[in-house]
Structure 1
């Protein structure tokens, strides 16, 4: 399996180091894809840094971030080609909402009143 070209899978998967990986959902709006990729990068960095001795709940949170981002991108979970357009949008919307909730808040911002000026 050195080439997927000309197969029914060539639009859904790519090969890397001899393994088949699912492609990102092509229906993702560019802005959504950028946000999910940003979360994915931060999650992967968190996993890498946590494995170097970071204490606390950082590693599970980082792994959850990676999982949610990959699900939002359509690379894990129910295959995107088996979902309707509404299901696909619900998938990435739910992933982004949970990712934003997981994201650590800067010190002093939790519960701070909004500026109305």
Structure 2
């Protein structure tokens, strides 16, 4: 896993995924990550049980934690740069950097 030079995204299989807001206090970030992991476990349990209501609640928990972390929702940076979350790195302004560091990873 590699981070973009500006720290806004990680790259997974050539795709940009928004990072958590680095201005979050560490204690708050850890609590939100714990919430996220609990919600992801709940998604798995709901899948195994086939409980549609539990699945809906678990997915809402994942979304709430990711939004609070800054990985979804409004961007946490203030320079007006667009959100490129989920874009392929080679189709973004990071393309030249990605080509130089990726060794053909796509």
TM-score norm. by structure 2 comes to: 0.66
Residue 57 of structure 1: how far off its partner (Å): 2.1
Structure 1 position 34 matched with structure 2 position 30: yes
- Of structures 1 and 2, the one scoring higher in RCO (CA 8 A, sep 6+) is 2
Alignment of 1:18 with 2:23, yes or no, is: no
Deviations 1:41-99 (A, max 9, x none): 0110111111112426211110000000000000000001139xxxxxxxxxxxxxxxx
Q: Which residue of 2 aligns with 1:65?
A: 61
Instruction: Please tell me whether Structure 1 or Structure 2 has the larger radius of gyration of its CA atoms.
Output: 1
Gaps of 5+ in 1: 84-117
Check the 8 A contact 2:40/2:58 in 1, yes or no: yes
Aligned match for 1:80, one of 46, 57, 76: 76
Residue 37 of structure 1: SS of its match in structure 2? helix
Unaligned runs of 5+ residues in structure 2 are: 80-106
SS across alignment from 1:14: strand
Q: What is the aligned-residue RMSD (CA, Å)?
A: 2.1
Aligned length: 78
